[in-house]
């Protein structure tokens, strides 16, 4: 048995899961929040998800966060020695055209991750900080970089090239990259098991509906099209992100508001989406609670559902019909009302609803009726397990 750490390092946070592999058993999980900000908090949970440790600590940077995490693993007797940790897998958001699979971290890999920060300026530098902090703390452990964009490297050229001068792609790498690849990869694999069919024989659509959201068409086990494009700002309406908008709108509103391009991108990333439409909350639960009395809350929900249905319809046409439809992530797993609205809009495809299954969470479940022409499923995502499996591939 090997213990593998799966790490998701953000600009001010560090999320982890510790697995015992190949049994795929969670040993512990946790989150260090507000790194480098006032009142950083550390939370460690055991295998059952119960909080073992939670308190505020002085954590000025990722180096200290990693040192503290490893110290707590020893103090809480989660591990008896750092030597038990055979490998560390790191989620990296942008792999560009350079990485189509997970790779062992080398100096060249770190250099390339740093170069790719222009495609994910908020994410790649933070991902790299996590990689380097764990390298210093666990020099014996195999370090593997797992790229969120790698799953989408199978997109056909017609689905990743934009209708702009082709030289932009050749010279500057402008193309559709997609996101949430680790999540989409995991849930389509689970869907095939639930449907008791080989993944290579299936046409599926995966809807990752969380604070960030993307939809992915998967044909014969490979990503065929996806709603996020050059950046995670595009695609469907999200909690605070606009999704697709007419690019002329950006130039128009920059002039009207008198703001810089960076400020405009900030507004589209942080003040738009469900929050921008409703004017009071990005949380789908708040919007659903006020739909009957607040027009803008209802409008935000209706636009979100419309956008999801639009992309599903597009992808059904692209792949020539589907065998299965998957909902995952926060809204996708937990919001029965949203799934019901989407499924009712897709009744023309022969989709029926198993009402008693819509609100089931925490497990893989079929939520379509027995007579449904398409199998619709709720599957909780597990990006960390995909990372741990990729690390094990290098340890095997």
Minimal CA–CA distance to 97: which of 161, 23, 22, 164?
A: 161
Point out the catalytic residue in the list 100, 148, 201, 244: 148
CB-count burial class (<10 Å; 0-12, 13-18, 19+) for 154? middle
Secondary structure class of 93 (helix, strand, coil): coil
209 labelled ligand-binding: yes
Q: 383 among the known binding-site residues?
A: yes
Does the annotation place 15 within a ligand binding site?
Answer: yes
Question: Which uninterrupted H or E stretch holds 118?
Answer: none
Contact between 77 and 98 (Cβ < 8 Å): no
Tell me: is residue 91 an annotated ligand-binding position: yes
Q: Is 148 an annotated catalytic residue?
A: yes
Core vs surface per residue 322-349: b (16+ CB within 10 A) or e: bbbbbbbbbbbbbbbbbbbbbbebbeeb
Nearest partner of 378 among 362, 393, 364, judged by Cα: 364
Task: Give the C-alpha separation, 354 to 359, whole Å.
Answer: 10
At a CB cut-off of 8 Å and minimum separation 6, what does 303 contact?
237, 277
Q: Is 345 annotated to bind ligand?
A: no
Q: What is the DSSP letter of 227?
A: S
CA distance 237 to 165: 27
Beta-bridge partner residues of 2: 21
355 annotated as a binding-site residue: no
The two tokens of residue 101 are 């699979």
Of 95, 102, 135, 133, nearest to 116 by C-alpha is 95
Q: Is 211 annotated as a binding residue?
A: yes
Of the candidates 353, 354, 358, 356, which has an alpha carbon nearest to the alpha carbon of residue 378? 358
Q: Which residues contact residue 75 at a Cβ distance below 8 angstroms, ignoring those fewer than 6 apart?
A: none
Instruction: Give CA separation, 275 vs 241, 328, 336, 370, in Å.
Output: 9, 21, 21, 37
End-to-end Cα spacing for the chain: 11
Query: Could you give the residue numbers annotated as active site?
Result: 148
Annotated binding site: 8, 15, 91, 208-212, 283-285, 383
Annotated binding site for ATP: 15, 208-212, 283-285
Annotated binding site for substrate: 91
Annotated binding site for Mg(2+): 8, 383
């Amino acid at each position: 048995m090997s213990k593998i750490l799966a790490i998701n390092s953000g600009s001010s946070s560090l999320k982890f899961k510790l697995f015992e592999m190949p049994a795929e058993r969670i040993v512990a999980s946790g989150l260090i929040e507000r790194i480098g900000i006032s009142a950083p908090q550390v939370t460690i949970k055991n295998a059952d998800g119960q909080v073992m440790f939670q308190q505020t600590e002085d954590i000025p940077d990722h180096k200290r966060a990693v040192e503290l995490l490893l110290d707590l693993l020893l103090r809480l007797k989660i591990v008896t020695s750092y030597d038990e940790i055979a490998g560390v897998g790191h989620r990296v958001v942008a792999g560009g055209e350079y990485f189509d699979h997970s790779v062992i971290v080398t100096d060249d890999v770190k250099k390339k991750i740093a170069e790719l920060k222009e495609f994910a300026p908020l994410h790649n530098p933070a991902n790299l900080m996590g990689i380097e902090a764990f390298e210093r703390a666990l020099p014996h452990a195999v370090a593997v970089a797992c790229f969120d964009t790698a799953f989408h490297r199978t997109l056909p050229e017609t689905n990743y090239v934009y209708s702009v001068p082709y030289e932009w792609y050749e010279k500057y790498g402008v193309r559709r990259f997609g996101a949430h690849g680790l999540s989409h990869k995991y849930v389509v694999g689970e869907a095939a098991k639930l449907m008791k069919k080989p993944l290579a024989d299936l046409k599926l659509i995966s809807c990752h509906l969380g604070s960030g959201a993307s939809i992915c068409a998967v044909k014969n086990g490979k990503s065929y099209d996806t709603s996020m494009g050059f950046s995670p700002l595009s695609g469907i309406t999200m909690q605070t992100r606009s999704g697709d908008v007419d690019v002329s709108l950006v130039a128009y509103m920059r002039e009207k508001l008198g703001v810089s391009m960076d400020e405009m991108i900030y507004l589209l990333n942080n003040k738009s989406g469900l929050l921008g439409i409703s004017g009071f909350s990005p949380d789908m639960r708040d919007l659903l609670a006020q739909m009957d009395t607040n027009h803008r809350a209802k409008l935000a929900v209706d636009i979100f559902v419309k956008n999801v249905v639009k992309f599903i319809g597009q992808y059904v046409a692209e792949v020539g019909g589907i065998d299965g439809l998957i909902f995952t992530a926060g809204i996708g797993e937990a919001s029965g009302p949203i799934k019901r609205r989407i499924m009712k809009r897709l009744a023309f495809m022969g989709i029926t609803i198993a009402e008693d299954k819509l609100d089931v969470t925490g497990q893989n479940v079929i939520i379509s009726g027995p007579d449904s022409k398409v199998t619709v499923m709720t599957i909780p995502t597990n990006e960390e397990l995909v990372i741990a499996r990729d690390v094990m591939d290098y340890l095997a």
